[in-house]
Structure 1
Amino acid sequence: MLLEFIATISAGVGAAGLILGMQKLLRLPLPNWLMPASAGIAMLAFTIWSEYSWASRAEAGLGEGKLVAMTVDKKQIWRPWTFVFPVTTQFIALDKDSAKVDGEMVQVDMYLVARRSESAIVPVAFDCLLSRRADAFDLPEGDLTQANWFDMDKNDPVLRTACDQLR
Structure 2
Amino acid sequence: MLLEFIAVIALGGGTAGIVMLIQKLTRGALPRWSTSAAAGLAMLGFAIWSEYSWLDRTAAALGPDHVVVTSVERKQIWRPWTYLVPVTTRFITVDMGKTQIKDRIVATDLYLLSRWQKGAVVPVAFDCQLGRRADIFAGFSDDLAADLIGANWITLEENDPIFTQACTALN
TM range (shorter): over 0.9
Cα distance in 2 between the residues matched to 1:18 and 1:128: 59
Does 135-144 or 54-63 show the bigger shift? Answer: 135-144
Look up the match of 2:132.
132
TM-score after normalising by structure 1: 0.92
Task: Check the 8 A contact 2:126/2:163 in 1, yes or no.
Answer: yes
For 1:154, the equivalent position in structure 2 comes to 158
Match of 1:142 in 2: 144
What's 1:166 paired with? 169
Deviations 1:42-93 (A, max 9, x none): 0110000000011111111112211111111111111111111111111111
How far apart are the structure 1 equivalents of 2:28 and 2:77? Answer: 41
Q: Deviations over 1:122-166 (max 9, x none)?
A: 110011222211111226630223211112222111111112x32
Supply the distance in 1 between the matched residues of 2:126 and 2:25 (Cα, whole angstroms). Answer: 65
Name the CA distance, whole Å, in 1 between partners of 2:103 and 2:135.
Answer: 18
Does 1:104 pair with 2:104?
Answer: yes
- Structure 1's unaligned 5+ residue stretches are none
For the aligned residues, what is the CA RMSD?
Answer: 1.5
Offset of residue 18 of structure 1: 1.0
SS of the equivalent of 2:78 reads coil
Matches within 5 A, 1:63-78: 63-78=63-78
Residue aligning to 1:90: 90
User: Equivalent residue of 2:4, what SS?
Assistant: helix
Structure-2-length-normalised TM-score:
0.90
Runs of 4+ in 1 over 3 A off after TM superposition: none
Number of equivalent positions: 166
Fraction of identical pairs, as percent: 49
Tell me, yes or no, if structure 1 residue 117 matches structure 2 residue 143.
no
Cα distance in 1 between the residues matched to 2:111 and 2:17: 41
